[in-house]
Structure 1
Amino acid sequence: MDAEAFRKYGKEMVDIVADYWDTMRQRQPLPEVKPGYIWDLVPKDPPAEPEPWSRIFADIEPVVFQGTTHWHHPHFFAYYPTACSYPSIMGDILSGGIASIGFTWKSSPAMTELEMVMTDWLAKSIGLPECFLNSDPGPGAGMIQCTASDATLIALLSARARAVSAMEQNGRLNWLYSTISRALPTKFNLREMMKKVEQPSQEKSQSPESQIINFEHHDPVYFTKLVAYCSDQAHSSVDKGIMLAGVRMRKIKSTKDAKFNNYSVEPEVLEAAIREDRAQGYIPFIYVATVGTTNTCGVDSLTKLGPICNREMIWLHVDAAYAGSYALCPEFRYLIEGIEMADSFNFNCHKAMMINFDCSPMWFKDAREAINYFNVDPTYLKHEHQAVASDYRHLQVALGRRFRALKVWFVLRSIGTAKIQEHLKIMVDRAIQFAELIEKDDRFELFVPQHLGLVCFRLKGSDDINERLNTIINDDRRIHLVPAKAHGVYFLRFAVCNSETTEEDVKYAYNVITELAQPLLHF
């Protein structure tokens, strides 16, 4: 394909995408396919000769569209939103077209510099303190991760390294103290003795070519004492991150709070866990607070938990993957009250802020600390500006990174924050509408009050009848939603995922649900 062919077929691809969006309502949110369907549609062997684009384009409908779960369908109410907009797609087109890999400042100066500005724009838009800004003279910084799962893992590894460093330092001081103490009965010159004191030697029997390296700040001998905390309502990615970090996990029991009547961790429960674990010789080193839990959109109070974490020298990471976007609206700024006490903070623009996947900004109060923990510096990655420029490779697991800042730049410039606020408020209004329909229906009940764009509800009765209702709804395929469990109770989640979902769409979903529920009520 040369440039002229790219212009021709690239325009056709744009038309295909635009037509897909224009005809979304003619589809159903869930496809009629079964696992393995693709083998009947795609040859098992690759073609030896090139095929015309007309034939490739003809296969997009049966192979791709008919096997896609349409997350942007107005009758898709599952999980949480995945945001998108035409300006965001434009950003991905340009990112893919440039095809640079911004692991260091020098490898793509524009990628790094624009990301620094865009994370500042986002931070200012949602009301983060200045200490998190790249433009602030302090050590804080923002950058864009792939997902909230990546951000949580980075926070865990940063907190683990901080804890290990403290334990190593304490170990050195204790060893030094015991060494000097053993010599106290004899006459000695303290200054001379300090000159002679050496650290316990490493294994020196190994050949230089095959020495085992113990990375500073990451000595696994200390991991067994570390305990990471999170709510029992935290996302499964927190469990996975803690598992991959090789440390213990304690899930702090949540209870329904007075403010939202939703599940959150109370400060006295966290303090009791800290006391208990320290009494057993464990070291609590991080608390992953959730702002907008996946199950019920519950909120851990940062104003209550932050002072405890700060006092106890526990890293506070705030996972606001879904709800963080709503802090763009002043009336929802309560979500991040107390954020100044956090060590790191993350939310997904790609959930509700009209920016498509993947775009998950993360901020550090002290990025220099994290960079110190993650720095590996081979010759081929060094450059003459590294002493003064930001190299984002130090704040992520992968080396390479895409030009995600482009879609933030395009969306904020072409749509503006006021329009995004309107988009967020529409989704909240639709959720309120559905919650009111449920509350007026004697057959149903809200599991927790509606919060933001999520409504948690259930048929009055057993978990079994609600499980059957969920199965019937999704087998029917007119709408799509998913269930959840909290404290052993099964319920259904109605998440408004698109501002294109109208009041009529909400009524339609309610009618489908009540129609399919009716036969179950006679059992």
Structure 2
Amino acid sequence: MDSNEFRHWSVKAAEWGVDYRAGLRDRPVRPKVEPGQVLNAIAASPPEAAEPMEAIFADFEATIVPGMTHWQHPRFFAYFPANAAPVSVVAEYLVSAMAAQCMLWQTSPAATELETRVVDWLRQALGLPTDFSGVIQDSASSATLAAVLTMRERTLDWQGNKSGLAGAPRLRIYCSEHVHTSIDRAIWVAGIGEENLVRIPTGGRYRAMSTQALDAAIAKDREQGFLPAGVIACVGGTSVGGTDDIATVVDVARRHGLYTHVDAAWAGSAMICPEFRHFWAGVDGADSIVFNPHKWLGAQFDCSIQFIRDPESLVRTLAIRPEFLKTQGREGITNYSEWSVPLGRRFRALKLWFLLRAHGLEGLRTMIRNHVSWSGKLADRLGREPDFEITSVPMLSLFSFRHAPAGVIDLDQHNLALVEAINRDGRIYLTQTRVDGRAVIRFQAGQFEATEADVDKAFEVITELARQK
């Protein structure tokens, strides 16, 4: 591809992207394809000779796009959002064109220094104190793994990386039953073992872990010869928004000398609105925090921020400095690859810089406030219907519900069939979960370009399909 062709196809791709986003409401949110359908439409062997871009692009439109779930659809109410504000997409064009490897300061000085600045902008936006530093990770999974590894090393007096875990006391990590499965994976990968992730019972309006039970579990483990290492608290858990009492969790952890990591991957974005910060009161006492601007804030995936109170401990856990990675003649620089598990790093800061400048914090606050308000109104409407029940109260813009008509014996199967019927219909997209052992349906409003009319459409679709004979 020469420079003229590069220009032509770059323009075409950008124009296609604009048209795609403009027409999303006319598409089903989830594709109407069967397993293997796309696979069978793609050649089984790679081409020996070059093919024209016209043919490649035509196949993209004919085969790939109809098989995609449209995460930027304004009526995507499933999982959590993976927003890509248009300005973030533009920034990613530029990042892709430069194709920089931003592992060290010297491999891209502007990328490193912009990351330092925009992460601090977000610290200020969330109301966090100045003693937090931060780094952009790829996802909350990586941030949580980094936190767990730091817990491990700090508790083992920095000998885990050197000597391994064989012969060391069994470490214990504590969390509620509502944390994301990325915590389980971090425990696996860190070598701590699933049996040493202690689930603390939960209760109350937002299903917070019992801090009395947490305190007792830590004390009991010490008596039995285990080595408690850290606590992972949750704000806005994936299932139904489980949220711990962060201040009390931090207090218990500190009394026992444990590291506290707060997983606010989704809900953290809402903390740019001061009125929602009560959900994580006490977070300023945590050792690390993760939130994902690529969920609710509008930064294209992948873009996760980890705030750290003591970056030296993180760097001591993760940094490897072979001679070929040293920057000679420069003192006091930051190499963010030493703050992350991967060595390679994308230029993620650029899309945050574009996003924050193009929308401003007040523009982003308005979006989040709207989503919370619209979701609350939908929960109220469904709760007033005689054949529906709200099974978990709204946590920000997330709640769950259940269709419970008279005469239906197996309500679990009925609701699982309902969510599948809704998703096959294509006008909206929802997911299911379990609350107190019962199958329920989740709803969250969070797509960047959603309107109140899109949320009203959800009420129409849900009630219509629930009552179809």
- Assess if the C-alpha contact under 8 Å between 1:145 and 1:396 holds in 2: yes
Separation in 1, partners of 2:440, 2:206? 14
Q: 1:251 aligns with which of 184, 199, 204?
A: 199
Change (3 A) 1:48 1:87: same
User: What is the TM-score normalised by the length of structure 2?
Assistant: 0.94
Could you say which residue in structure 1 is the equivalent of 2:408? Answer: none
Change (3 A) 1:503 1:86: closer
- Assess if the C-alpha contact under 8 Å between 2:177 and 2:202 holds in 1: yes
Separation in 2, partners of 1:297, 1:14? 36
Could you say which residue in structure 2 is the equivalent of 1:240? Answer: 185
Q: Residue by residue, what CA displacement relative to the aligned partner does 1:2-42 show, whole Å, maximum 9, x if unpaired?
A: 22221121111100000000111110101011222223322
Q: Residue by residue, what CA displacement relative to the aligned partner does 1:77-129 show, whole Å, maximum 9, x if unpaired?
A: 10011111111011111111111111111121111111000100111011111
Q: Counterparts in 2 of 1:347-386, with a 5 A limit?
A: 347-385=291-329
Show structure 1 runs of 5+ residues with no match: 133-140, 169-213
Letter of the 2:136 counterpart: I
Q: 1:308 aligns with which of 236, 240, 252?
A: 252
Separation in 1, partners of 2:275, 2:114? 29
Separation in 2, partners of 1:463, 1:48? 52
**In the alignment, structure 1 residue 514 sits paired with structure 2 residue 463:** yes
- Assess if the C-alpha contact under 8 Å between 1:434 and 1:455 holds in 2: no
Measured on the aligned residues, the alpha-carbon RMSD in Å equals: 1.7
Q: 1:398 aligns with which of 304, 326, 342?
A: 342
Change (3 A) 1:150 1:283: same
Q: 2:386 aligns with which of 442, 447, 453?
A: 442
Q: Counterparts in 2 of 1:468-483, with a 5 A limit?
A: 468-483=417-432
Letter of the 2:434 counterpart: K
Deviation at 1:385, TM superposition (A): 4.9
**In the alignment, structure 1 residue 126 sits paired with structure 2 residue 120:** no
- Assess if the C-alpha contact under 8 Å between 2:382 and 2:388 holds in 1: yes
Separation in 1, partners of 2:314, 2:167? 18
Q: Highest CA radius of gyration, 1 or 2? A: 1
Give the percent of matched residue pairs that are identical in Structure 1 and Structure 2: 36
Could you say which residue in structure 2 is the equivalent of 1:345? Answer: 289
**In the alignment, structure 1 residue 165 sits paired with structure 2 residue 157:** yes
Could you say which residue in structure 2 is the equivalent of 1:317? Answer: 261
Could you say which residue in structure 1 is the equivalent of 2:440? Answer: 491
Change (3 A) 1:223 1:516: farther
Could you say which residue in structure 2 is the equivalent of 1:146? Answer: 138
**In the alignment, structure 1 residue 424 sits paired with structure 2 residue 376:** no
Letter of the 1:145 counterpart: Q
Q: Residue by residue, what CA displacement relative to the aligned partner does 1:126-156 show, whole Å, maximum 9, x if unpaired?
A: 1111001xxxxxxxx2110000011000000
Could you say which residue in structure 2 is the equivalent of 1:293? Answer: 237
Separation in 2, partners of 1:380, 1:346? 31
- Assess if the C-alpha contact under 8 Å between 2:200 and 2:210 holds in 1: no
Show structure 2 runs of 5+ residues with no match: 406-410
- Assess if the C-alpha contact under 8 Å between 1:290 and 1:319 holds in 2: yes
Separation in 2, partners of 1:372, 1:500? 42
Deviation at 1:310, TM superposition (A): 1.3
Could you say which residue in structure 2 is the equivalent of 1:193? Answer: none
Letter of the 1:365 counterpart: R
Could you say which residue in structure 2 is the equivalent of 1:195? Answer: none
Change (3 A) 1:7 1:437: same
Deviation at 1:393, TM superposition (A): 1.4
User: What is the TM-score normalised by the length of structure 1?
Assistant: 0.85
Deviation at 1:432, TM superposition (A): 1.3
- Assess if the C-alpha contact under 8 Å between 2:78 and 2:442 holds in 1: yes
